Amino acid sequence: MISRILAADLPAHVGDRVRLAGWLHRRRELKSVSFLVIRDRSALAQIVLRRPVHLAEETVVEVTGTVAANPQAPGGAELVDPVIDVLSEPVQPPPFDLYRPVVSGALPTILDHAPVALRHPRLRAPFEIAAAGVAGFRAALDGLGFVETSTPKIVGSATESGANVFGIDYFGRPAFLAQSPQFFKQTLVGVFERVYEVGPVFRAEPHDTARHLAQYTSLDAELGFIHDHRDVMAVLTRALAGMHAAVAERAVNAVALLGIDVPKVPEEIPAIDFTEAQDLLARHTGEDPRGEPDLAPAHERRLGEWALREHGSEFLFVTGYPMVKRPFYTHPDPARPAYSRSFDLLFRGLELVTGGQRLHRHADYLAALAERGEDPRAYQGYLAAFAHGMPPHGGFAIGLERWTSRVTGAANVRQTTLFPRDLHRLTP
Amino acid sequence: MISRILAADLPAHVGDRVRLAGWLHRRRELKSVSFLVIRDRSALAQIVLRRPVHLAEETVVEVTGTVAANPQAPGGAELVDPVIDVLSEPVQPPPFDLYRPVVSGALPTILDHAPVALRHPRLRAPFEIAAAGVAGFRAALDGLGFVETSTPKIVGSATESGANVFGIDYFGRPAFLAQSPQFFKQTLVGVFERVYEVGPVFRAEPHDTARHLAQYTSLDAELGFIHDHRDVMAVLTRALAGMHAAVAERAVNAVALLGIDVPKVPEEIPAIDFTEAQDLLARHTGEDPRGEPDLAPAHERRLGEWALREHGSEFLFVTGYPMVKRPFYTHPDPARPAYSRSFDLLFRGLELVTGGQRLHRHADYLAALAERGEDPRAYQGYLAAFAHGMPPHGGFAIGLERWTSRVTGAANVRQTTLFPRDLHRLTP
Q: In this structure, is residue B426 part of a structural domain?
A: no
In total, the C-beta contacts within 8 angstroms joining chain A to chain B are: 247
Look at B192 and A363 and tell me if their CB atoms are within 8 Å: no
Mean pLDDT estimate for chain B: 95
Q: In this structure, is residue A361 part of a structural domain?
A: yes
Q: In this structure, is residue B422 part of a structural domain?
A: no
B283 known member of a binding site? no
CB atoms within 10 A of CB A378: 14
- Max Cα-Cα span within chain A: 84
Look at B115 and A392 and tell me if their CB atoms are within 8 Å: no
Q: Find the domain containing A192 and state its range.
A: 121-416
Q: In this structure, is residue A166 part of a structural domain?
A: yes
Number of structural domains (chain B) is: 2
Looking at the fold, whether A243 and A362 belong to one and the same domain comes out as: yes
E strands, B290-365, in order: 315-319, 332-333, 336-340, 342-347, 350-358
B237 known member of a binding site? no
Q: In this structure, is residue B66 part of a structural domain?
A: yes
pLDDT band at residue A159 using 50, 70 and 90 as cut-offs: low
Looking at the fold, whether B385 and B309 belong to one and the same domain comes out as: yes
Instruction: Tally DSSP H helices, then E strands, for chain A.
Output: 11, 18
Query: What is the per-residue pLDDT across B116-163, written as a single tens digit (0 to 9) for each?
Result: 999 999 999 999 999 999 999 999 999 999 999 999 999 998 766 667
Minimal Cα–Cα distance from A406 to chain B, Å? 18
Looking at the fold, whether B155 and B304 belong to one and the same domain comes out as: yes
Computed on alpha carbons and rounded to an integer, the radius of gyration of chain B in Å comes to 26
Looking at the fold, whether B217 and B71 belong to one and the same domain comes out as: no
Nearest to A194 among B21, B41, B184 (CB): B41
Of the candidates A2, A143, A9, A166, the one whose C-alpha atom is nearest the C-alpha of residue A85 is: A2
List chain A residues with CB under 8 Å of B387.
Answer: 90-92
Q: In this structure, is residue B428 part of a structural domain?
A: no
Look at B426 and A170 and tell me if their CB atoms are within 8 Å: yes
Look at A154 and B214 and tell me if their CB atoms are within 8 Å: yes
Per-residue pLDDT at B161: 61
Interface test with A, best of B2, B112, B191 (most A CBs within 10 A): B191
Query: What is the per-residue pLDDT across B156-210, written as a single tens digit (0 to 9) for each?
Result: 987 666 679 999 999 999 999 999 999 999 999 999 999 999 999 999 988 888 8
Q: How far is CA A351 from the centre of its chain?
A: 13
Looking at the fold, whether A132 and A175 belong to one and the same domain comes out as: yes
Q: In this structure, is residue B101 part of a structural domain?
A: no
CB atoms within 10 A of CB A380: 15
Beta bridge partners of A272: A318
Look at B147 and A127 and tell me if their CB atoms are within 8 Å: yes
Looking at the fold, whether B128 and B62 belong to one and the same domain comes out as: no
Per-residue pLDDT at B3: 87
Looking at the fold, whether A46 and A137 belong to one and the same domain comes out as: no
Mean pLDDT of B73-84: 95
Q: In this structure, is residue B111 part of a structural domain?
A: no
Q: Does pLDDT of A137 surpass 70?
A: yes
Per-residue pLDDT at A212: 87
Last residue of a domain, one of A46, A69, A88: A88
Last residue of a domain, one of B38, B71, B88: B88
Looking at the fold, whether A137 and A50 belong to one and the same domain comes out as: no
CB burial class (10 A; 0-12, 13-18, 19+) of residue B101? Answer: exposed
Look at A147 and B138 and tell me if their CB atoms are within 8 Å: no
Calculated CA dihedral for residues B101, B106, B108, B114, nearest 10 degrees: -20
Looking at the fold, whether B59 and B178 belong to one and the same domain comes out as: no
- Three-state SS for B233-284 is HHHHHHHHHHHHHHHHHHCHHHHHHHCCCCCCCCCCCCEEEHHHHHHHHHHH
Look at A166 and B170 and tell me if their CB atoms are within 8 Å: yes
Looking at the fold, whether B165 and B229 belong to one and the same domain comes out as: yes
CA–CA distance, A310 with A287 (Å, rounded to integer): 21
CA–CA distance, B260 with B242 (Å, rounded to integer): 18
List chain A residues with CB under 8 Å of B222.
Answer: none
Cα–Cα distances (Å) from A49 to A22, A28, A64, B230, in that order, read 17, 10, 12, 34
Look at A387 and B361 and tell me if their CB atoms are within 8 Å: no
Decide: B185 and B220 in contact? Cβ < 8 Å: yes
List chain A residues with CB under 8 Å of B225.
Answer: 4, 21, 87
Query: What is the per-residue pLDDT across A22-39, written as a single tens digit (0 to 9) for each?
Result: 999 999 999 899 999 999
Nearest to B154 among A21, A150, A215 (CB): A215
CA–CA distance, B296 with B280 (Å, rounded to integer): 14
ipTM over 0.95: yes
Beta bridge partners of A139: none
Last residue of a domain, one of A88, A110, A135: A88
* CATH number of the domain where residue B60 is located: 2.40.50.140
Looking at the fold, whether A77 and A135 belong to one and the same domain comes out as: no
List chain B residues with CB under 8 Å of A151.
Answer: 418-419
Nearest to A92 among B113, B148, B387 (CB): B387
Query: What is the per-residue pLDDT across A233-265, written as a single tens digit (0 to 9) for each?
Result: 999 999 999 999 999 999 999 999 999 999 999
* CATH number of the domain where residue B214 is located: 3.30.930.10
List chain B residues with CB under 8 Å of A187.
Answer: 115, 428
